[in-house]
C-alpha cells in the first residue's frame, strides 16, 4: 500500500481521503495555514466540521508546520488547496518535494496574466524550483464530484488527466473503488479548461433562482427550467470554444469534465447561492460582503482571475467576443458590479 500526503484539509481534500483509506493506503492529511481549526477538530473528534463526516483512523492529521515530517517517504502528494492557493502550494512543496514523487491535483481553475491564459498544472509547475519543476510528474482530477457525496461513498465518476498514460493508470489503480469510478485522459488542456470554466457558467445558471424568486411561480405553477437550460447550453457552447482556442479536444467538453461537471455544479452549492443573490438584483461586491464573506465562490474567483485577460484577448482580436457573450456578461457582473441581465440576442450566434 502507498503513503499518500494530502495538502489541504478542506472539503475535497478531506473527501479524497475516503477512497484512499478504503483502499488501505496510509494517508497524511496536512492542513494549510487556514485549516488549523479543522485539523484540531479531527485530532479531537475524528470529525471534519464542514464535511460532517468521520475521518478514517488510518488518516493522520498534521498542521501546516509539520509538512516536511508528513512528506517523509511519500509515494504520492494530492493537492487539495483551492485555486487561490496553487502558488502557495508550489512555494511550500517546492523545497521538500522529491522530483520523482507524483502530484495529483483536485484544484480547478485558470490563471490569466493579461497576455495569456494558463491551466493550473502549468502554474503549479512554474512555481516549483527550476531544477526539479520540470521533472515532477503531474496529474489532475476533473469531472462531477461533490465532496459530501464522495465522503458518503455515493457513486462518483471522474477523469484523471495528465501527460503520462502510465502514471494515470498507476494513480487510477490507487484510488479506484466500487463507488469511485475513474477514467483517464491525456487531454490535459481540454479537461482543465472545461472543469475550470464550468464554475462561472454554474454561477450564471444560479441567477435563475433569483429571477424566479423575484417574479414568483406562474399561476399554473411554472418555474424557469427553460431559462436555466438555455443558460446551461450557452455555457457549454462557450466552454467548447475556449477548449478549442487553448488547444484541447472537444470530447472533454461533452463528457464528464465539461457537461458532467457543469451539471453537478449548477445543481447548487456556493455558486448557486451567490447566483441567486445576483439574480435578486444585488451587486456582487455587496452580496459577497453581506451574505457570503467567508465563502470561496469559485465561479466569481475565476471571473476575477481571468476577466482582465479575456477582455484584453478580445480587444486584441485573439478571442472572438461574439463567441463568449455569457462569459463577458459574468465578468462584468462580478468584476464591475454590473446588473444581472442576460444577453439573449447574442446567444448561439457563433
Output the 3-class SS for 222-253.
CCCHHHHHHHHHHHHHHHHHHHHHHCCCCHHH
pLDDT in tens, 223-249: 999 999 999 999 999 999 999 999 999
What is the arithmetic mean of pLDDT over 39-52?
Answer: 93
Catalytic residue from among 3, 198, 214, 288? 198
pLDDT in tens, 240-298: 999 999 999 999 999 999 999 999 999 978 999 999 999 999 999 999 999 999 888 99
State what percent of residues in the chain have pLDDT above 70: 99
Cβ atoms 72, 98 nearer than 8 A? no
DSSP strand E in 43-108: where? 47-48, 53-54, 59-62, 76-79, 103-105
- Give the containing element (helix H, strand E) for 165: helix 165-175
| More confidently predicted of 305 and 132 | 305
- At 130, the pLDDT band (50, 70, 90 cuts) reads confident
- Region of 293 (left: φ > 0; alpha: ψ -120 to 50; beta: rest) is alpha
CA distance 134 to 186: 17
- At 135, the pLDDT band (50, 70, 90 cuts) reads confident
- Which pLDDT score, from 0 to 100, does residue 338 have? 98
SS3 label, residue 142: strand
Cell 455558486 -> residue: 271
Angle, CA 342 vertex, CA 84 and CA 340 arms, to 5°? 55
Closest CA to 105 of 3, 251, 186, 7: 7
pLDDT in tens, 320-347: 999 999 999 999 999 999 999 999 999 9
Name the most confidently modeled range: 51-55, 125-129, 181-185, 217-221.
181-185
- At 132, the pLDDT band (50, 70, 90 cuts) reads low
Name the pairing type of β-strands 117-119 and 110-112.
antiparallel
Provide the residue ranges of all domains of the chain, joining segments of one domain with +.
3-186, 189-346
- Which pLDDT score, from 0 to 100, does residue 30 have? 97
The CA–CA distances, whole Å, from 295 to 77, 131, 268, 288 equal 26, 37, 14, 8
pLDDT in tens, 61-97: 999 999 999 999 999 999 999 888 999 999 999 999 9
- Which pLDDT score, from 0 to 100, does residue 269 have? 86
What is the arithmetic mean of pLDDT over 293-322?
Answer: 96
Task: Classify domain 3-186 by CATH number.
Answer: 3.40.50.720
CA distance 101 to 52: 31
Closest CA to 148 of 53, 238, 81: 53
Task: Classify domain 189-346 by CATH number.
Answer: 1.10.1040.10
- Which pLDDT score, from 0 to 100, does residue 131 have? 65
- Which pLDDT score, from 0 to 100, does residue 133 have? 62
Catalytic residue flag (residue 198): yes
- Which pLDDT score, from 0 to 100, does residue 134 have? 75
Angle, CA 8 vertex, CA 164 and CA 79 arms, to 5°? 10
- Which pLDDT score, from 0 to 100, does residue 268 have? 79
Q: Which of 174-178, 193-197, 243-247, 269-273 has the lowest mean pLDDT?
A: 269-273
Amino acid at each position: 500500500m502507498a503513503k499518500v500526503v494530502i495538502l489541504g484539509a478542506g472539503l475535497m481534500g478531506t473527501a479524497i481521503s475516503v477512497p484512499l483509506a478504503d483502499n488501505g493506503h496510509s494517508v497524511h492529511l496536512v492542513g494549510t495555514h487556514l485549516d488549523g481549526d479543522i485539523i484540531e477538530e479531527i485530532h479531537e473528534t475524528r470529525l471534519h466540521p464542514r464535511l460532517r463526516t468521520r475521518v478514517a483512523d488510518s488518516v493522520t492529521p498534521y498542521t501546516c508546520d509539520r509538512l516536511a515530517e508528513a512528506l517523509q517517504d511519500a509515494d504520492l502528494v494530492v493537492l487539495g488547496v483551492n485555486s487561490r492557493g496553487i502558488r502557495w502550494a508550489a512555494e511550500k512543496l517546492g523545497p521538500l518535494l522529491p522530483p520523482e514523487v507524483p502530484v495529483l491535483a483536485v484544484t480547478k481553475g485558470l490563471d490569466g496574466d493579461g497576455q495569456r491564459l494558463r491551466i493550473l498544472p502549468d502554474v503549479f509547475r512554474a512555481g516549483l524550483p527550476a531544477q526539479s519543476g520540470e521533472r515532477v510528474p503531474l496529474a489532475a482530477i476533473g469531472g462531477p464530484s461533490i465532496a459530501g457525496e464522495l465522503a458518503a461513498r455515493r457513486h462518483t465518476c471522474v477523469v484523471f488527466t495528465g501527460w503520462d498514460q502510465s502514471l494515470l493508470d498507476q494513480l487510477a489503480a490507487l484510488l479506484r473503488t466500487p463507488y469511485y469510478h475513474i477514467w483517464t485522459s491525456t487531454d490535459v488542456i481540454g479537461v482543465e479548461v472545461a472543469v475550470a470554466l464550468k464554475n462561472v457558467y454554474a454561477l450564471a445558471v444560479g441567477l435563475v433562482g433569483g429571477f424566479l424568486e423575484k417574479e414568483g411561480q406562474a399561476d399554473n405553477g411554472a418555474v424557469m427550467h427553460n431559462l436555466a437550460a438555455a443558460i446551461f447550453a450557452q455555457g457549454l457552447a462557450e466552454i467548447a470554444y475556449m477548449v478549442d482556442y487553448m488547444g484541447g479536444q472537444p470530447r472533454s467538453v461533452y463528457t464528464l469534465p465539461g457537461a458532467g461537471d457543469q451539471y453537478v455544479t449548477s445543481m447548487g452549492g456556493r455558486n448557486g447561492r451567490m447566483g441567486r443573490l445576483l439574480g435578486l438584483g444585488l451587486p456582487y461586491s455587496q452580496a459577497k460582503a453581506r451574505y457570503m464573506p467567508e465563502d470561496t465562490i469559485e465561479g466569481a474567483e475565476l471571473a476575477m482571475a481571468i476577466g482582465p485577460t479575456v477582455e484584453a484577448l478580445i480587444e486584441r482580436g485573439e478571442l472572438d467576443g461574439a463567441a463568449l457573450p455569457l462569459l463577458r456578461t459574468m465578468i462584468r457582473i462580478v468584476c464591475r458590479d454590473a446588473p444581472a441581465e442576460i444577453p439573449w440576442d447574442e446567444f448561439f450566434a457563433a
